Amino acid sequence: MEMTQSVVAPKLLDQVRGKIRLKHYSIRTEQAYLDWIKRFIRHFGKKHPRDLGAVEVETFLTHLAVEGRVAASTQNQAKSALLFLYREVLGSELPWLDNIEQAKAPKRLPVVLTRAEVHDLLSRLEGTNWLIANLLYGAGMRIMESLRLRVQDIEFTRREILIRDGKGFKDRVTMLPATLVAPLREHLKRIKVLHRQDLEAGFGATYLPYALDRKYPGAARDWGWQYVFPSAKLSVDPRTQVTRRHHVQDQAVQRAVKQATRDAGLTKPATPHTLRHSFATHLLEGGYDIRTVQELLGHADVATTMIYTHVLNKGGRGVVSPLDGLA
C-alpha cells in the first residue's frame, strides 16, 4: 500500500504543476501551492486527497492556526492551495468547498516612513540595492515589479516605466524619477557589457513569458528583453532546466533594506514594501488627488488607496487637537 501511495503522490503533483503553468501562475505561487499540498498529504498519512474532504481540510487549517500559530494570511494561502487542488486538479465541485471559512486577517495601517527617514534609509544603501530601493520609493513599485523590469520597459525620453503583468496580470505606467535617469543609464551600460560576455560564452538567453521564445526565435537574446537587474551569476531555471541569468533575488534586497534600517537607527519595522507605502502617502501629502495615486499604484479599487489617507501626517482625520488650541 505504501508503494502505491508513493507512486500516486508524484503523479498528482505533476498534475498540479501542469494546471498552475497552464494558468500562467508565477513560479512562487507554484512552489507555495505544491508545498501546502505536500504538507496536507503528509498530515493525513499520505492518503490521496480524493479520499479526504471538508473535515480533513478544516482540520488541517485549524491545525495550522492552533498548533502552528501561523498568521491569517498564511492560513488563507494554504486554503487557496487546497481549493486549487480540489477545484482545478481533481475537478471537485462539492458544496463544502465554498463553505470553508476564510481566516480574518487583522486590518492594520501600513508602516510609513517620513521623508527624513526615507532619506536616512536610502543613504545607507549602495549599488544595485540602492537603485532598486530608490525605484520602490520614487515610482511606487512593488519589489517583484522592479526586479522583473526589462530594459525595453524603461522610457528615458518620456521618463516613464512600463510595468508588465503587475498584480492581477495588469500593465500600467508609472514615472521614472528624474534623479534616477543618470544612475540608471550608467547601470544599463555595465549590464550590457555583462550581457555581451554571456553571449560570447554561449549563454545570454533570458526567460520569456507566454512561450514568446517560440513565437519570436532569438528574442530571448535581444538586449531589450534582458532584466534591468540581472543576477551576479548564472543559474538553472527550475522549470526548463536551462542555464541562464535570472534577475536579482528579492531576499537580497530585503536583507539590505533591513540592515539599512538598523544602520539608520529607525524604530519602525521598514521593509522594501514600506517604501511603496511611503511613496503613496507622500504624494497625497503633496496634494495629488487619490485617483492619480490609485493609477500609479495599480490598485483596482480606490478603496485600497484610501487607506493612505489614514496615515497622513495630520493627526486623526486631519483634525487639530483642542489641546493645541490652548497654546
Active site residues: 142, 167, 273, 276, 299, 308
What is the full DSSP assignment across 267-293?
-S---HHHHHHHHHHHHHHTT--HHHH
Contacts of residues 121-130 at CB distance under 8 Å and 24 or more positions apart, as own/partner, are 121/257, 121/260, 121/261, 121/264, 121/266, 121/270, 121/275, 122/260, 123/264, 124/259, 124/260, 124/263, 124/264, 125/256, 125/257, 125/260, 128/187, 128/229, 128/248, 129/252, 129/253, 129/256, 129/257
- Residue 69: count other Cβ atoms within 10 Å of its Cβ: 8
Ramachandran category for residue 278: left, alpha or beta (phi over 0 → left; psi -120 to 50 → alpha): alpha
